[in-house]
Amino acid sequence: MPQYLVAIFRHVSRKTIRESKVATAIAMVLLLNAAHAMAQDAKATYPSMAPLQQYLMDRGAEIALARTAAPASISESAEVLVLEQAGYTTAAKGNNGFVCVVERSWGAATDEPEFWNPKVRAPICFNPAAARSFLPIFLMKTKLVLAGKSKAEILRATGSAFDKKELPALEQGAMCYMLSKQQYLNDRGKSWHPHLMFFIPGDTAKSWGADLPGSPVIAANDPEERATIFMVWVGTWSDGTPALPISH
């Protein structure tokens, strides 16, 4: 099960535990069985990379989609990258240090069943610190994907780049906006919920009080990117419309 969903399930289940231990035990068994079944289905559906054309978009549409990741007050002044045959390239200059991009499926961990899902479109707007120190990981993975590398080769190459300090150290204050109503994160969650993500070096969930009863912070340890990703739900999409609450 991908770390992103593990963190969400853990967060949701804690509230249920307080309400009913018996109900939680049953629910968790069903949840894990369902997650396992979904993972098996996804593996069968996306065993390898699809033709590149399925991951590409119309340039204008991709620019517009990328900007939906954050409120217009941020995204309209941000640099925008778009995916082309040879990789991501700057499609619009920015002046506030933010970088907006539509991530594809390989933004996920290599053990994610939908790593090759060509339907994934995940608009993200990185703040300056994340644009300098976290976005380069995804851009490197993209080059490896377009070079035809396997998931195992991608994992080895990025791990080596970290060890050799060819990838920058994660900067303090690195975060991003994921507020696009049009996001398609995977076949299960689809648009999920508008949220912010914060990137912290190492496995640091405890220091944020993440996943504790009543805490709004969800944590996902991300060893492939050598960081902990903290997710915080927000109440509105980037266009200002309210998001429906996720029931527990």
> Tens of pLDDT along the chain (248 residues)?
345 544 544 554 444 434 444 444 444 444 445 555 555 554 568 999 999 999 999 999 999 999 999 999 999 999 999 999 999 999 999 999 999 999 999 999 999 999 999 999 999 999 999 999 999 999 999 999 999 999 999 999 999 999 999 999 999 999 999 999 999 999 988 889 999 999 999 999 889 999 999 999 999 999 999 999 999 999 999 999 999 865 44
Q: Are 209 and 217 in contact (CB under 8 A)?
A: yes
In a domain, 133, yes or no: yes
The total domain count for the chain is 1
163: left (phi over 0), alpha (psi -120 to 50) or beta: alpha
pTM of structure = 0.83
**Do strands 122-126 and 227-233 pair parallel, antiparallel, or not at all (unpaired)?**
unpaired
Question: In terms of Cα–Cα distance, which of 62, 225, 173, 37 is closest to 113?
Answer: 37
Q: Are 190 and 184 in contact (CB under 8 A)?
A: yes
**Token reading at 18:** 């307080």
DSSP string, 22-63: HHHHHHHHHHHHHHHHHHHHHHHH-SSPPPGGGG---HHHHH
In a domain, 241, yes or no: no
In a domain, 76, yes or no: yes
In a domain, 170, yes or no: yes
In a domain, 248, yes or no: no
In a domain, 106, yes or no: yes
The residue whose two tokens read 């190492």 is: 202
Domain span holding position 57:
3-233
